[in-house]
A and B are shown apart, each in its own frame.
Chain A
Amino acid sequence: MHPTMYMNGRDENKTLRRNKYRVTILSYGDCICDFVSPARMNDSARPATPQEARRAGGARPRILLVLLSSLIFCLMAPALRAQDWVKTGTSLGVERVRLAVSDFKPSSTDPQNDALLKTFNDTLWNDLDVSGVVELVSKSFYPLQVPGQPVDVTFPAWSAPPPNAAMLAFGNFGVAGGKLTMQGWLYDVKNTASPQVLGKQYTDTPSDQAARVIAHKFADEIIFRLGGGIPGIAESTIYFVSDRSGHKEIWVMDYDGSNQRQVTRLGSISLSPRVSPDGSRLAFSSLTKTGWEIMMYSLDLNRLVAFPHLGGTNLSPSWSPDGLKLAFSSSRGGSPEIYIADANGGNLHSMTANKGPDVSPIWNRKTGAQIAYVSGVTGLPQVYTMESDGTNQQRMTDQGYAVSPSWAPNGQFLVLAWVRKYGPGDPGALDLYLMDIASKQWVQLTHDGGRNDSPSWSPDGRHIVFQSSRSGKEEIWMMLADGTKLQQLTFTGRNTQPNWSWK
């Protein structure tokens, strides 16, 4: 059997992925609630009928459906309000797809091969491990023979215990003739008649970064198919604030913490990076000679571009999901209020008018119709929502100290940083909470100490990146949106205010 292959260069493949993303983001809510339709599973890479797709992969989407419904049920269940610690997801007993990921077989003996292959294998494994949609089968259960081609796969060796895998990812990888080439497959090892779910080939110039990118692309293809048609995040990036250069500047890294690099070099204090939905611009707040101003940085031109200085203290910009507007906090009128302006700074008008400090607005990134924000109008800061025209201001949090809301891509949830019980003798801890907006039910996500703040959702809605002092100083951490799979991403200097790219 010969695999169906796509000869994709890097750029072509990216375009392909983006197109898919546009389709799926429109149907986000559907994906979460009414999970996977066979049609969505029926990818062109898989020449199978809907019936075959149901037979081959249908069991797993059903498991996922149960999994996610149970997550949502848990969020809604009023009884959970009284509980302090809730683990949602697989630890409740629902199984995820058991995926075996064989180390890829070297396809050449080029001296660069070993290091690049290790990078590739590690990156692919990590991408799938943190994806939250599969359960990786431990490598110690794998057959000794490493499959590099479809003909090498002995199905029972993978599908029977001990591996007991439902799916197998395998392939070969090597440098030949100055080109790095990877061939990869995803096999449904329990369907020996029509096992192939995916077959891909990538070619690039050999480099460590290229090996990473190829692993990310392949991982995203697998996650797209096993994760209910929601694109993976392996090629997303995270912007953040780091003081490692001696000043607080804006930095960026790959979503897994690799490839950290400095974006701004202003030598002042720069905070609150927010990347635009299309990834072309970065809005942030910086201390200038005239005070705190909103700054605009072009990620295409790699330089600051014009944005008017507004006077007063201007903080915490947030992009509307269409990329045409910014919401931010400004004290130009005397007191810090939420303002909205066009992305070029024009057409400025205020949304709130109260005596408390109003800050940290964030748009509903699915609909663009609401804005969540923080206000100290009643004393300690609380999280509110309002329509994006400023009407219908609703308080979401009932007590304590609540800040830093971030709106989930599906539009249904907020994650926020909250000291639920603050008072003398009860200092409480700043932890992250997930809140269902319609019902105001919440679930606590972090329990492990330190101050946890500045959460930001991944584009797939499955992950949350945040800052935490649990290691002793402020660093960036990532977890699944149910609080599991914690992973520290930064280790140098103090790193805060992560902002996940929109795709």
Chain B
Amino acid sequence: MKHASKQWFALVVILGGILSLAACSKKAAPPPPPPPPAPAAPTASLSANPGSIQSGQSSTLSWQTSNATDVTIDGIGAVQANGSQQVTPTDSTTYHLTAKGSGGSQEATARVTVAQAPPPPPPVAAGPTDEDLFSQNVKDVYFDYDKADVRGDQQGSILGDVQFLNQHAAINFTVEGHCDERGSTEYNLALGDKRATAVKNALVSAGIGASRVKTISYGKEKPFCSESNEACWQQNRRGHFVYQR
């Protein structure tokens, strides 16, 4: 009997202990919560590599932040706290990173400079460009029916042509004399010759070197259009400038 009571006693003690322990822990709960540490201010850095690119190339933005909960880069949006990203700006751009955390916010910037379209490309390509400029800037001279003198309303074209040709003294060129379809082949070739010469003389008297100018007559052999009306005939009565390579 005594042995059994010991067992019961132990059981009670253990249970009591458990109970008391449980009661104790409940009662001992409020250790004073540690005062929340003063939140650390976030840090941020942003860099672009390379910092200067040609238009169309790309640069790599890299950033590190700490103590930040919310990191954004203007123009890109929300990003991870640390990371990198390729960007291909078309114009020079300042990237602006904002890292926000409970300790405040921090900003960082990085600038990617974009060199604009290579300015008038290097002299290697000068030839074709001269030709392009020539065809863009030099205006043909139009004539009246059966006439080979430069009429008043064409003086503006001559002046513009002289101005351009003075600025581009290396350009040599041919003036082609053209005629409309009416009249004889032979007479039109002679007339076209006079037209080409008239344009050449106007240029030379305005200071263009005669050696830069060749003349040729096409008469009515190479018309610009082939309708039989005054609009087309006027198109075909001209001194036409051709760039000479």
Chains A and B come from one and the same complex: yes
Query: Which chain A residues have a beta carbon within 8 Å of chain B's beta carbons?
Result: 248, 269, 271-272, 287, 291-292, 312-313, 315-316, 329, 331, 334-336, 357-360, 374, 376, 379-381, 401, 403-404, 417, 430, 453-454, 496-497
Contact B146 A380 (CB under 8 A): yes
- Give complex CA distance A444, B191 in Å: 26
User: Shortest 3 CB-CB distances between A and B: which pairs?
Assistant: A357-B190, A336-B190, A403-B184
Contact B185 A376 (CB under 8 A): no
Contact A404 B186 (CB under 8 A): yes
Asked whether any CB of chain A lies closer than 8 Å to the CB of B180, the reply is no
Contact pick for A329, options B183, B186, B197, B216, CB 8 Å: B186
User: When A291-B216, A331-B197, A380-B146 are in contact, do A315 and B184 touch as well, CB less than 8 Å?
Assistant: no
- Give complex CA distance A4, B51 in Å: 112
- Give complex CA distance A178, B18 in Å: 147
A358 to chain B, nearest CB (A): 7
Asked whether any CB of chain A lies closer than 8 Å to the CB of B65, the reply is no
Asked whether any CB of chain A lies closer than 8 Å to the CB of B8, the reply is no
> Chain B: which residue is nearest A331 at the CB level?
B193
A383 to chain B, nearest CB (A): 11
> Chain B: which residue is nearest A451 at the CB level?
B182
- Give complex CA distance A389, B17 in Å: 153
Contact B190 A315 (CB under 8 A): yes
- List 19 A-B pairs, Cβ < 8 Å: A248-B221, A291-B216, A292-B189, A312-B193, A313-B189, A313-B216, A315-B189, A329-B186, A329-B190, A334-B197, A336-B190, A336-B193, A360-B184, A374-B184, A374-B186, A376-B187, A401-B183, A453-B185, A454-B184
Known: A272-B185, A359-B189. 13 other contacts (CB 8 A): A272-B186, A292-B216, A312-B193, A331-B190, A331-B194, A335-B197, A336-B190, A357-B190, A357-B191, A357-B194, A381-B146, A454-B184, A497-B185
B199 to chain A, nearest CB (A): 14
- Give complex CA distance A417, B185 in Å: 12
Task: Give the most central of A292, A379, A453: most B CB within 10 Å.
Answer: A292
- Give complex CA distance A336, B179 in Å: 15
Residues on B with beta carbons closer than 8 Å to the beta carbon of A315: 186, 189-190
User: When A269-B221, A291-B216, A379-B146 are in contact, do A359 and B186 touch as well, CB less than 8 Å?
Assistant: yes
Task: Give the most central of B184, B193, B197: most A CB within 10 Å.
Answer: B184
> Chain B: which residue is nearest A417 at the CB level?
B184
1/0 per position for B192-213, CB-CB distance to A under 8 A?
1110010000000000000000
Residues on B with beta carbons closer than 8 Å to the beta carbon of A358: 190
- Give complex CA distance A41, B197 in Å: 58
A128 to chain B, nearest CB (A): 34
Residues on B with beta carbons closer than 8 Å to the beta carbon of A335: 194, 197
Contact B187 A357 (CB under 8 A): yes
Contact B187 A403 (CB under 8 A): yes
B190 to chain A, nearest CB (A): 4
